[in-house]
Structure 1
């Protein structure tokens, strides 16, 4: 059995940052346990290749929720990265920090050091923004952020004009002075390749002699001596192995796997653990509870002008964009599918936006077996305006089914389980139609394909979005941070309440969800968490 100063479980958005920052001085030895394999795959590195990884079991956990009454009884597909870089290696790369008020709410809930002004230096330090540094943005950091303004499909400009005609301001930077409005998304890429946390942070760390990364190593149990975490048991190549930590064990396995591993190790709801025959090390009802997620839907239109469908669908178009990408690392394959987007309020009385918009200059209504048909879109000129809620009030949970670490946990999403969430989404889909009815869009729309003009009444609109909505892959808060052990799992320094030598540093610690995509805030959490660890081990 080998001993390291720190053991990090998970090499995702936060874990990769931790590995880099904790090892940088050379003072500490670091072991990273990653359940998946290498990220050196073509469709991982090519930005639009995430259509190929959306169901790929070699890089994706492919979780499924329980049938969800709020989604018309549907079972939702929850992709999660199972490779170096975690979900940052298979996500849509949209780089959004969240609203100032989100983080100020975290601090106001009793988490000093987690307000927007506290965290802005970390956000700026970790990024290398192509647009350059200013009061809000950083340059020279490890993670490159691309400005895609000159690369997006021409229809995106029409969408921006329509959004302004519908009453939203044009916003040049959603991570700048204000978040509300429509604009073009910046994405985490560099020179036409995905800028995952593995590429930005873990790969440089792996060159150091004091860092060891074990792939295909599934953490199965945290080992305790009394209330102190001292090691991790993991499964690798059919064998059970053990590693010890001299200083700390840090869980960065994400909002699904961190609570799962805690519960497998005897930390969680006592009745659940006892019922599964797992000895209770420390009872905490919040482990796996308080699940929050963003839920979204697309409205899809048939256009009168060509969209990306006409390039990505035919064989000759695939050949053209493929050659363009291979030779110049540019073109549609170098981008996210979300070219534009924005944030708006369904009620002007709200202090900040509660809805996010996505504009996609192609459509994928016709399914393709085994993959999300991003690279094989519909044969007609289609495009979509999507949206997702930012701070839903619905809450779910993630709980283990058995003591077997290979069994997937039970995910109960509880989407649209509150009247407030239903009413909010009803207002939001009506606003999408308002954008589509503005002159800049209306003049190039042949028809609304989904849900279609027959869906008009409030009841029909609600039925439709329950049936067609799904996760936008932002689960958080299953090991939430807070000062009160009866309502949270970790304290503001991210140490687990009631235990020693154990921290959780990933999106599961978010006290509440944020306004927008969660990857940037997850990376920031790794950066901030590393600073806390280093302060405690000077």
Structure 2
């Protein structure tokens, strides 16, 4: 065993949160930081070229290829759950979609005991992180590390047709869903800069790598947090089959994600006594909420044939891919410089829902998100999912061996409200695509298929067709001091221990209405200030909410109604 030098802080995980922390903490030249990552370099064309997004997420070199236990409410399917294993973490393998979430998502966090994490306190940290291509206002910011733009400006006419179809169906158009009004249809935003994926590694870590007070170790597997009398004093890890220990002067910061962070806590003897005992691990600190409250977004692909030959399906052949790649390598422009999700929608599933709970990504192609299969011919699809699920799952350590993956159970569609929301996904999507704006493009319905109309038929389709949107969170949730199932307090400190914080998407009390990279980076920005005993002034801005949300599902009437 090797015993190594001390650092002020050790950060476990160089993902979306860990990269932020490494940058912000080492801004002080007197603070020393060790950043630990199991994966390696992100210097790959398949990571840096936005259009290649399906490759790194399905590559063992760059992603943990986790699978859930058989999901009892999804016909016992074992659901794929890739998580980043590379510098940048999941921000290096994700779809690059930039969605903060609705303001009420963060007010909800505070309502669940995360004191001071309401929207007005979070907004300044979204702004601190951001470099928005179209300028600053009350909600958006220029000059931050994280570049955000809208891709190729919706050059394909299908993107704008989808937005118009949403308006035709009686929904609002929004000029900025990350600003005053999330609800409605509009352009989608992505973390891309000058045609390159702008991961947390590119945005935060790379500018800090030359600092003498930052040490980075890749290719290491953390096996436990070292505790001494309820105080975290360092970490133990494996490096090239050798065990090493590193120690801290101040704190250990776990940023290993919603699967990794609870697993490391449990390997350290921190968690539910029964779970630890079953894995042969001695309990060091009883904390029953570790690994519980796991949440995720599900989605399916609503696919149509397209009557005009203008979709990406014609660009999937080897010669077309070569041409796209060459143009990107030479100029960082063209179809290689976008994730292709350039329009979107956020709507409410029914009247009485206060803020949007359904999300659309529009794609001018009919293909799986993981790139494994495509429709032969021209097609387009909606990625549609319910973003405020009530079903809850867990992460449980299986063995004291840190190389043994934990058990993961999401319990997708366990709650009846989630089932009913997916029925709304099918029926509302069909109505939107049936609007006049889509007449010149809309061909036959490929999936689910026009015969899928009853509740029973829709439920059966959903159980077979839904996939994870790859947004796990909540497994080390933040909560009030008197909440026995809370893992951390509002200062990100593990309850009952000293010198140990968790800072990543696992701390979310509830899942936001949107993709998770933006709120994860916001949480890390704020956590860095908390550690440094700093705080940005609270915002005071208005946010749109339908004044008649209790009586209506949308603000207008559809030009064309459908029967199912």
Query: Same fold by TM (over 0.5)?
Result: yes
The equivalences for 1:311-326 within 5 A come to 311-326=314-329
Contact 1:248 1:502 in 2 (8 A): yes
Picking from 373, 387, 391, the partner of 2:388 is 391
For 1:449-482, what per-residue CA distance to the aligned partner results, in whole angstroms no more than 9, with x for missing partners?
A: 1111221221101100111002101111100001
Q: Which residue of 1 aligns with 2:507?
A: 509
Contact 1:46 1:192 in 2 (8 A): yes
Distance 1:472 1:227 in 2: 37
Picking from 179, 184, 205, the partner of 2:208 is 205
Aligned partner of residue 63 in structure 2, secondary structure: coil
For 1:36-92, what per-residue CA distance to the aligned partner results, in whole angstroms no more than 9, with x for missing partners?
A: 111111100001111111310000101101111222221111111100000000000
Aligned partner of residue 51 in structure 1, secondary structure: coil
Contact 2:114 2:509 in 1 (8 A): no
Q: CA deviation at 1:364?
A: 1.6
Tell whether 2:164 aligns with 1:166.
Answer: no
Q: Which residue of 2 aligns with 1:55?
A: 58
Q: Which residue of 2 aligns with 1:422?
A: 419
Picking from 106, 110, 118, the partner of 1:107 is 110
Tell whether 2:531 aligns with 1:533.
Answer: yes
Question: Is the alpha carbon distance of 1:436 and 1:222 closer, same or farther for their aligned partners in structure 2, counting shifts above 3 Å?
Answer: same
Q: Give the ranges of 4+ consecutive aligned residues of structure 1 lying more than 6 Å apart after TM superposition.
A: none
Distance 1:310 1:16 in 2: 36
Q: Which residue of 2 aligns with 1:291?
A: 294
Contact 2:153 2:342 in 1 (8 A): no
The equivalences for 1:269-418 within 5 A come to 269-364=272-367, 372-373=370-371, 377-418=374-415
For 1:2-34, what per-residue CA distance to the aligned partner results, in whole angstroms no more than 9, with x for missing partners?
A: 100000000111110000000001121000010
Unpaired runs of at least 5, structure 2: 536-564
TM-score (norm 1): 0.96
Tell whether 2:481 aligns with 1:473.
Answer: no
Q: CA deviation at 1:149?
A: 5.7
Picking from 513, 524, 531, the partner of 2:522 is 524
For 1:147-184, what per-residue CA distance to the aligned partner results, in whole angstroms no more than 9, with x for missing partners?
A: 33624422111111111111111111110101000111
Contact 1:36 1:84 in 2 (8 A): yes
TM-score (norm 2): 0.92
**Which range moves more in the overlay, 283-292 or 440-449?**
440-449
Tell whether 2:445 aligns with 1:448.
Answer: yes
For 1:355-394, what per-residue CA distance to the aligned partner results, in whole angstroms no more than 9, with x for missing partners?
A: 10111101125xxxxx9327x7433101101211111000
The equivalences for 1:222-237 within 5 A come to 222-237=225-240
For 1:387-413, what per-residue CA distance to the aligned partner results, in whole angstroms no more than 9, with x for missing partners?
A: 111110000001011111101111101
Q: Which residue of 2 aligns with 1:461?
A: 458
The equivalences for 1:61-100 within 5 A come to 61-100=64-103
Contact 2:151 2:337 in 1 (8 A): no
Q: CA deviation at 1:536?
A: 8.6
Q: CA deviation at 1:241?
A: 1.1
Contact 1:148 1:184 in 2 (8 A): no
Q: Which residue of 1 aligns with 2:495?
A: 497
Q: CA deviation at 1:279?
A: 1.3
For 1:127-151, what per-residue CA distance to the aligned partner results, in whole angstroms no more than 9, with x for missing partners?
A: 1000110110010011110133624
For 1:320-376, what per-residue CA distance to the aligned partner results, in whole angstroms no more than 9, with x for missing partners?
A: 3223222221122111132211100011221100110111101125xxxxx9327x7
Tell whether 2:3 aligns with 1:3.
Answer: no
Q: Which residue of 1 aligns with 2:428?
A: 431
Q: CA deviation at 1:485?
A: 4.4
Q: Which residue of 1 aligns with 2:546?
A: none
Contact 1:34 1:218 in 2 (8 A): yes
Picking from 148, 151, 172, the partner of 2:151 is 148
Contact 1:71 1:468 in 2 (8 A): no
Q: Which residue of 1 aligns with 2:180?
A: 177
Aligned partner of residue 250 in structure 2, secondary structure: strand
